[in-house]
Amino acid sequence: MCHCLACQQRTGSVFGVQARWPSERVTVGGQAHAYVRTGDEGGRATFRFCPTCGATVYYELEALPGVVAVPVGAFADPNFPPPERSIYGERRHPWVTTTLAIEELD
């Protein structure tokens, strides 16, 4: 779960949630457009989004080579496992709370 301002702008929501896999375990089909964004602390990420609806379908972080991140909402599965870690807590909207036992990384 990421509360950074860039994720807020990308998702149009107040935080983003992603799941990550080793790239060799990910198969990509169909078309996707790319957008490279520089994050709050200078790291670059390449976002791939659907050319029809604009939804982010997966992305890769320069700081994590060999890893593919998929926005959890893309699965449209309310039973998807909950996030285990949270970052950029200093940018969290104060009304965002969770009952999860979640590891705060910043």
- 69 lies in the binding site for Zn ion (CB under 5 A): no
Residue 2 interacts with Zn ion (CB under 5 A)? Answer: yes
Rg (CA), the chain: 14
Residue 23 or 37 having the CB closest to Zn ion = 37
Cα(68)–Cα(59) distance, integer angstroms? 6
**According to the binding rule CB under 5 A, does residue 1 interact with Zn ion?**
no
Q: In angstroms, what CA-CA distances link 20 with 26, 53, 86, 95, 97?
A: 10, 22, 14, 27, 23
CB of 37 to Zn ion, least distance (A): 10
Is the Cβ of residue 23 or residue 39 nearer to Zn ion in the bound state?
A: 39
**68 sits near Zn ion (criterion: CB under 5 A):** no
**Does residue number 7 form part of the binding site for Zn ion (CB under 5 A)?**
yes
Six-digit token string for 41: 């602390």
